[in-house]
Structure 1
Amino acid sequence: MNRSKSDDRTRITVLVALAANLVIAVAKGVGGFLSGSPALLSEAAHSVADSVNEVFLLAALRRSHRPADSRHPFGYGKERYFWSLLAAVGIFTVGGCFSFFQGFEALSTDGRESPEGYTVGLVVLAFALLAEGGSLVRALVQLRGEKGAARDPALRTVVAEDSTAVLGVVLAMVGMVLHLITGNVVWEASASLAIGLLLVYVAFRLGKDARDRLIGESADPELRKGVRELLASQPEIDNVAALFTMGLGLDSVMLAARVDLAPGIDSEEIERVSVRIKRSISRAWPEAEHVFLDITNAPPRGGV
C-alpha cells in the first residue's frame, strides 16, 4: 500500500479515536462530578489528554508531507516524531499528573460513594469501555494489516492510548466497586494512582521513541547490511571504509558511504560508477531518498 493511502487510513483511525475520546471525556467528567469519584475524574483527565494528543497526531500527518525547501532541504518527515513527542508530554502532564492529584486527594478524605453515584459511574465506564475498545480494534486491524504500519508513530500512539484507556477503565471500575463494597476510599484512590503510573509509563515509552527518531536514529540493520553488501559486491570498489544512515521520516532515509575504488580507475569512470551505484541503491531501497558517496582511489597495490 502506498504511503498516501496508508496515511488516509491512519487519519481516519485518529479521527475515530478523537471522536470517541471527546464523547467519553464529557461523559466521564459529568459522571465524575455527579458521583464524586476520583477514579472516574482521573479517567476524564485521561480522555481529555488523549483528545488533545489526537489533534497533535492530525497535525503530524498533515505537516510531515510538506515538500522540502531551502530551510529544510531534507523535507519535514521528522515533524511526525515532534508531534508524537508533544503527545507523550500531554499524556504525562494532563493525564498522569491529574490522576496522581486525584489519588492523593482521595486519600486525604474519608468519603463514600452513594449508590446513585456508583450506578452513574459504572454506566459511564461501561460505555467508555465499549467506545475505547472499538477504537482500539480499528487501530489494531490497521497495525496488523499494513506492511510497515508498526513504524508509524501516529498509529502507534493511537494503539498505546487506546490500550491504556481500556486498562484504565478496568482499573477505575475495580476501584469503584471495591470502594462501594468496603466503604474504604483507599481502593478508588489506589485505582487513580495506578492509572497515573500507567499513563506516565506509556508517556515515557512514546517520548523515548520520538526522541530517538528526532536526534537521528540510524536505518534498520537489514537495510544497512544490504547496502554494505551491495557496495562490497561492486567490482570497482576495493573497500567500504564507512557507512552512515539516518532516518529522515517514516519512509525516508539518508545514506552516506565512504568507499575506496580499485586502483587504475580514471575520473570519468568514477562518475559513471557513482551514478550506477546510487541507482542500484535507490532501486533496491526506495526509501533511500538521499544517497551520498565519498569516493577515493585506493593506492596501487604494492606501491609506496
Structure 2
Amino acid sequence: MDPHLLRTFVTVVRTGSFSAAAAELGYTQAAVSQQIASLENDLKVALLHRRPVGTTEAGARLLEHAGPILLRLQAARSEIVRMSGTARARLRVGASPLASAYIADPLARARAAHPRVEAAVQVMGRAEIDVAVAAGDLDIGLVDGIAAPNDPLRLADTVPLAAVAIAERPLALVLPSAHPLASRPGADLNDLVDALWLDVPDVAVPLPALRQATGARDGFTPSLTCEGGDLPFLLALIAAGHGLAVLPAGLARGEGLAEVPVRAPRVVHRTELLHSRATDPATAAFVDALS
C-alpha cells in the first residue's frame, strides 16, 4: 500500500472534500481523485462515497489503521534523520500546562551547553504531546496524568518512545473553602461521582480518567466545560463555586480555596519526560539536566 495514497485518503476524509485536500496537499483536484481511485483499485474496494464525501465501511476500517501507520512512518524518518546527524540544531519542547513547570532550569542548562541551538517552547494539550514527539515535531515532551503509584502513564503505544519519570505527587480534591467537604481529612472519589465537576481536561485531572480510576460507568458530570486554560484560571473557577477538580496536592493557593487529600482510589499524579530513542546533543543535555 503506497503511503502517499494513504496520506491523501486521510486528508480527504479529514477535510471532507477532494478540493480542500488538493489545496492542502498542493495537488490538483484531478490528481487527488486519481490517487483515491488508485488506492481503491489496489484494495479492490470502494473507500469513499463521493457526494457527499464520506467513508464506506471499508474506508472507515482503513482510517483506523491509517493514522498509526503514517505516524510510524513519520517517526521512523525522524529517528533516522537524528541518527544521521543532518538534523538542524534545534530544541523544541512541548509540555502540558502543569508539566511546563519543569521546563525552565533544564532548558537553561541545555542552552548554556549548546548556545547556538534554536530553542522553542509550546504549552499544549496532554493528548497531543506523545504523538508530536513520535512524529518529530517536538524533541522533548513533558506530560502529566494519573496512575497507580510507580506505574507509568498510559500513552499511545504506536511508536516506541523513551519515557523518564520526573515526579510523582499525591492528589487533592480542590474545592471552595466554604464547601461542606472542605473540613474532611480525606476524600473518596467513589463517593463523589454525582458532584458537580469542572471539565478543564488540559489542567485538572480529566473526568474520563476519574471514571476509569473509580470504575464508574457514568457520573463525574461537568458543570462547566473549558477548553484550554491555565492553573490560575481553573483555581478562580473553583473559588467562584463553578465546580470541583482534582489536582496535584499543594497547588491550590489563594483565598477561598481548600484541598482535601484523595484517599481512594489509590492513584497519584505523575509527570514524565518523553523523547525519541535517538537524541541530538541538545536534547540529551535537556534530558540529563532534568532526569
TM-score for the superposition, normalised by structure 1: 0.19
The structure whose residues are more often strand, as a share, is: 2
TM-score for the superposition, normalised by structure 2: 0.20
Structure of larger gyration radius = 1
